[in-house]
Chains A and B, each alone.
Chain A
Amino acid sequence: MSRAPRQRNAHAGALRDAPAEAARSAGVDDARASVLGAIGWALARDFRVALRSKGELGVQLLFYVIVVTLFPLATSPSPEILATLGPGVLWTSALLASLLSLPRLFASDYDDGTLEQIALSPRPLVALVSGKMAAHWLTTGLPVAAMAPLLGSQYALETPMLGTLTASLLLGTPILSLLGAVGAALTLGARGGGTLLALLVLPLYAPVLIFGAGAVDAARAGVSATPHLSLLAAGLLLALVAVPFAVAAAVRIALD
């Protein structure tokens, strides 16, 4: 039983192009607002969609835990060996968990047609994909970084090293999300899906892995991890500034 139909007044008056055109000529402030608004829109939407499929998020986190648990089974449970392996295992597993979650970034939007609408909207695509990548990190990288201290103590890593581990993951996983997004966008609609994505993205991940795991290793050796963490931070800043443009270009290419 529907309500009585009401008159749709959306077309009252002459049609004109969207208000965004007027806003653009109004100055820089509006442009900045548009960029922030676009980031916020994409972040909020993706976050809400991700929360509605909590099962998927849980599976990715579980994957991380399982992989980290497998390594001692394959090597040895002795604390000395675990402490040596720990940084590398925890970081590599975080890398693989990130890889596993990457297709989710664009594939679902690509399949149901929403990615086209996003690309055709009057907002800057660079800002929109930035919002998407931010939401992706919040739902994958951040939980992994949060779990790491717990798993790190399984690997006989002491508290100061756990701090370094978490810091390195907090700095490094956003870079993984950013670089991975390039691969995810490029492989949209391509054969080979996830494995192709891994092949493209893993070589790019190597520096992040080196500095991230290296930071924890340095802490374990009693040396300052500041150089490693600074390099990670620098890499993160560079990636934040440059990568969204590459991702936006890749999305447009995929929609062609």
Chain B
Amino acid sequence: MSPAILLEARRLAAQRGNARLFAGIEFTLATGEALVVTGANGSGKTTLLRIVAGLTIPAEGEIRWRGKATHPFDAHLREAVAFNGHSPALKDELSAEENLDAWTRLYDRRLAHERIVDALDGVGLFRQRRLPVRVLSQGQRRRIGLARLALVRRTLWVLDEPLTALDAQASGVLGALLDAHLDAGGLCVAASHQPLPIAADRARGLVLGEPA
């Protein structure tokens, strides 16, 4: 079964204020493929990812998901996307368990408590699962983000610098998650300074140029 192209970007352009960040970006992504976006700081990697996730309106161009053109916050795209941005997206006052419980309920459906505990265990946070997130380190918070990726089933993963603050073991977990995701037919668009821990032949590259 040849992989179906699910994500297309056509003539994408973005601006910050009056300065053009990038223009004419085109790519397609099929099931099981990952796109790694690289470029200097300020070249617009985060903006491109946010456009793909449907948060930001591009100055020009469009994103097509499953053949349909999408506008930001389209329900069509929202049902498929998991976005991990710069912040780990956790409420400080709630515990890791409570945060994950809230996210899974919102994005998917209520999961059995066991599943959440398992996921936290898988990222090495079993002991800390009931502590308020406030007391966890940056690396631990990002690991909760990995657990969230594992629990909430989504076709398109948009990851902004997923390796930030991850130690070697956690990077390995991310790699395993990515491999499983791509094997199951998922897609991934990621911005990363460092190479992602997946097989090199799975990842296509896209380089954004210097800012004008």
Contacts and interface: CB of A to CB of B under 8 A. Distances in A.
B89 A114 contact: yes
A11 B184 contact: yes
Given A18-B80, A121-B78, A112 B89 contact: yes
Interface residues of B, number: 53
A8 B150 contact: yes
Closest 8 CB pairs of A and B: A113-B87, A52-B93, A113-B89, A15-B184, A11-B180, A11-B184, A122-B79, A15-B186
A187 to B, nearest CB: 19
18 contacts: A1-B127, A3-B121, A8-B122, A10-B119, A13-B184, A15-B184, A24-B75, A41-B106, A45-B91, A49-B91, A49-B93, A52-B93, A112-B91, A114-B89, A116-B83, A117-B106, A120-B81, A122-B107
A3 B118 CA distance: 9
Interface in B96-150: 98, 102-103, 105-109, 115, 118-119, 121-122, 124, 126-127, 132, 150
Nearest to A255: B55
A38 B75 CA distance: 15
B160 to A, nearest CB: 10
Interface in A111-144: 111-114, 116-123, 125
B185 interface: yes
Contact of A17 (B53, B80, B106, B181): B80
A119 B74 CA distance: 11
B167 interface: no
A18 B89 contact: no
Contacts of A111: 87
Interface in A203-252: 252
Interface stretch (B22-30, B151-159, B194-202): B151-159
A114 B92 CA distance: 11
Contacts of A24: 75
B154 A18 contact: yes
Main secondary structure of the interface of B (DSSP, over half): loop
Contacts, number: 125
Nearest to B101: A45
Contacts of A1: 127
B121 A5 contact: yes
A120 B89 CA distance: 12
Interface of A: 1-3, 5-6, 8, 10-11, 13-21, 24, 38, 41, 45, 48-49, 52-53, 108, 111-114, 116-123, 125, 252, 255-256
A225 B103 CA distance: 46
Contact of A122 (B55, B75, B88, B181): B75
Given A5-B122, A113-B88, 19 more contacts: A6-B121, A11-B153, A14-B185, A15-B184, A17-B154, A18-B108, A24-B75, A45-B102, A49-B93, A113-B89, A113-B90, A114-B89, A117-B83, A117-B106, A119-B55, A120-B81, A252-B73, A256-B55, A256-B72
Given A113-B87, A122-B107, A53 B93 contact: yes
A202 B81 CA distance: 38
Contact of A113 (B85, B152, B183): B85
B165 interface: no
Nearest to A6: B118
A88 B89 CA distance: 42
Contacts of B177: 8
Contacts of A15: 153-155, 181, 184-186
B166 interface: no
Contact of B107 (A8, A18, A114): A18
B79 A18 contact: yes
Given A19-B109, A118-B106, A10 B151 contact: yes
Contacts of B98: 48
A128 to B, nearest CB: 8
B122 A125 contact: no
Contacts of A18: 79-80, 107-108, 152-154
A16 B180 CA distance: 14
B119 A11 contact: no
B106 A121 contact: yes
Interface in B170-192: 177, 180-181, 183-186
A246 to B, nearest CB: 15
